[in-house]
Structure 1
């Protein structure tokens, strides 16, 4: 039996205006865990969601991402950026070297609220669910000028993604002075 070595810049790439995903290790390689390198463009917000079967691991390689991985005291449908857990956990601005583990049924999200792309390593168990998901969502993002929200919702329903807040792709959200002070504190 042999392992697999994937040099930098190698792997199967899926690229759209909304995302760039490079498959590094997949179910086709015999892995039970799918591994991807993902470039998260400025303004991209995956929206808070859960999975009943999947576990996920995110590792920030470059840039900064806002990360969430907890059940809030109160879920809101419009946004997750101000959520807080019963233990006082809040959204974290995570830089290179930060990671996030997400067990099944845990609300989680990430967004790039900066004006520069971020790059992360993303692992998902079991393989190949997220591989198929990425292939199909890239098709949806490539279909035209605007993203069809019904097609995205249908895709998410089929792949065990229970959306809580909307997926958003656009310019980074300008922070209020209070949010800038809170992030420094």
Structure 2
């Protein structure tokens, strides 16, 4: 059991995630509370083996989880599935489940912070977030895209569109 605010903080360069359930036995998934700053866009990406779940607790996010007609390099907000599905602009209570192999993304298009409950399976996603936070810290929030691509490759993340972190960041 954890009281509100408890857990291990993973932070740097605009990333702020609190690890609530760490990976390893007996955890089936790593669980986090993530603060998504205004303007942040994780970029569309896909995991061959992993699956994820996002539940919006506070604020608003643009959410996407479908195979687009074409995986274009530009803005995933323009993607459309073969059935006509587009991204969802969701608020508290919105849920995004991502099965293995499904392209997905989220962004915060508002001027307010958003907060999500995030689960990643298999467990151990905190290792990726630790390394991403370090990259973001070192680059003051704007890491080298090649460094992000290499990090993501090592963690079963095929990046389809760029990560964007336009907010000025000091820590």
Q: TM-score range by the shorter chain?
A: over 0.9
Of 11, 14, 21, which residue of structure 2 is paired with 1:18?
Answer: 14
Of 83, 102, 106, which residue of structure 2 is paired with 1:106?
Answer: 102
Alignment match, 1:180? none
Q: Which has the higher contact order (CA 8 A, sep 6+)?
A: 2
Partner of 1:13, secondary structure, is: strand
Alignment match, 1:151? 147
Alignment match, 1:85? 81
Alignment match, 1:122? 118
Q: CA deviation at 1:17?
A: 2.9
Partner of 1:81, secondary structure, is: helix
- Which segments of 5 or more consecutive residues in structure 1 lack a partner in the other structure? 172-185
Partner of 2:78, secondary structure, is: coil
Alignment match, 2:131? 136
Contact 2:13-2:139 within 8 A present in 1 as well: no
The TM-score normalised by the length of structure 1 is: 0.87
Q: CA deviation at 1:27?
A: 1.8
RMSD: 1.1
Question: Could you list the per-position Cα deviations for residues 66-121 of structure 1 after superposition, in whole angstroms to 9, with x for gaps in the alignment?
Answer: 00000011221011001111111101101000101000000000000000010000
Q: CA deviation at 1:6?
A: 1.1
Alignment match, 1:54? 50
The TM-score normalised by the length of structure 2 is: 0.94
* Max Rg structure: 1
What is the rounded CA distance, in whole Å, between the counterparts of 1:160 and 1:141 in structure 2? 19
Question: 4+ runs of 1 displaced by more than 4 Å?
Answer: none
